[in-house]
Amino acid sequence: MFCGINRVVMRNNRKIMIAGNWKEHLNVSQASHFMHRLEESIPIRQSVETVIIPNVLILQPISVNLDRRKFRLGAQDGYFVDAGAYTGEVSMAMLQDLVHYVLVGHSERRYVFNEGDDVVAKKMQAAIRNGIMPILCIGETLQERLARETKQILHNQLTAGLMNLTSREVAASVIAYEPVWAIGTGEFAKPDQVQEAINYIRKQVESLFGKRTASLVRILYGGSVDDLNAKSFLELSGCDGALIGGASLNQYKFAAIIEVAYRVQQERLGR
């Protein structure tokens, strides 16, 4: 196992995170070429935590030569039963020595694969049980936004996802606000919509788990983030990074977003 929850809370206290979700793209050789180019484009930036989230086949080969000063690995999914007769599944237990993070409740899992809040809750617990930090994705559909149900949806998905976790475990987790209508569409949310959602999520965490937990949990934005709009999200108050799909498959865009994050973090630290 890579890391206990304690170590992450201590070491990565609201460190800005840039996570690249490669989704169902790149085979093993394409990924190793791309990783090579990415490593050349990205300098070591200690104040930014860069997480690569490739498909499960790529995790093992990439981990062999990974420059751990620059990157951490995450999984796109993991099953909640550690081992058993579950054909086709890869459990959190099997991922635990390969990844630091795992996405849970990504909208493509919720809406393409019909994963409900009950499955999301079990995956959150399985991730934590196996020492992997979950990145819980929550967000409303366009229909729900238009019906003014955004806060209710965020509340429901958050409460269900964090159910049965301790405040310490929540503090070590990451929450990604990803409005479904902004994912892969090029139609990113407006910064004030993201600010409102982030404030709401942190308030909800505070009322469920207390002030200290709310001040420790990292909250990211995801949905059509690229090198041109990243700054407008990363400089929002309480925004601790970005979850990036499409632009993470372009070495120049992804490297540029990491540089933006580095500069925003330096400004925050008053340097």
Which residues are known catalytic residues? Answer: 106, 178
Q: Verify binding: residue 245, ligand PGA, rule CB under 6 A.
A: yes
Report the site for ligand PGA in 151-210 (rule: CB under 6 A): 178, 183-184
What gap in Å lies between CA 80 and CA 120, rounded to an integer?
9
Judged by CB under 6 A, the stretch of 75-83, 230-238, 245-253, 263-271 that binds ligand PGA is 245-253
Three-class DSSP labels, 3-61: CCHHHHHHHCCCCEEEEEECCCCCCHHHHHHHHHHHHHHCCCCCCEEEEEECCHHHHHH
Number of residues in contact with ligand PGA under rule CB under 6 A:
13
Cβ atoms of 202 and 217 closer than 8 Å: yes
Cβ atoms of 196 and 233 closer than 8 Å: no
Q: Verify binding: residue 256, ligand PGA, rule CB under 6 A.
A: no
Q: Verify binding: residue 139, ligand PGA, rule CB under 6 A.
A: no
Q: Verify binding: residue 223, ligand PGA, rule CB under 6 A.
A: yes
DSSP class of residue 190? P
Strands (E), the chain: 16-21, 48-53, 71-75, 101-104, 133-138, 174-177, 218-222, 241-244
Residue 224 C-beta: closest distance to ligand PGA, Å: 4
Report the site for ligand PGA in 17-56 (rule: CB under 6 A): 21
Residue 170 C-beta: closest distance to ligand PGA, Å: 21
Three-state secondary structure call for residue 79? strand
Cβ atoms of 44 and 71 closer than 8 Å: no
* Binding test (CB under 6 A) with ligand PGA, winner from 17, 52, 104, 225: 225
Residue nearest to ligand PGA (CB): 245
Cβ atoms of 95 and 133 closer than 8 Å: no
Which amino acid, one-letter code, is at 164? N
* Binding test (CB under 6 A) with ligand PGA, winner from 139, 222, 230, 233: 222
Quick one: tokens of 168?
């310490």
Residue 222 C-beta: closest distance to ligand PGA, Å: 4
- Cα 100 → chain centroid: 11
* Binding test (CB under 6 A) with ligand PGA, winner from 246, 253, 254, 259: 246
Residue 121 C-beta: closest distance to ligand PGA, Å: 20
Is the Cβ of residue 165 or residue 183 nearer to ligand PGA in the bound state? 183
Q: Verify binding: residue 241, ligand PGA, rule CB under 6 A.
A: no
* Binding test (CB under 6 A) with ligand PGA, winner from 102, 171, 180, 244: 244
Residue 246 C-beta: closest distance to ligand PGA, Å: 4
Footprint of ligand PGA (CB under 6 A): 21, 178, 183-184, 222-225, 243-247
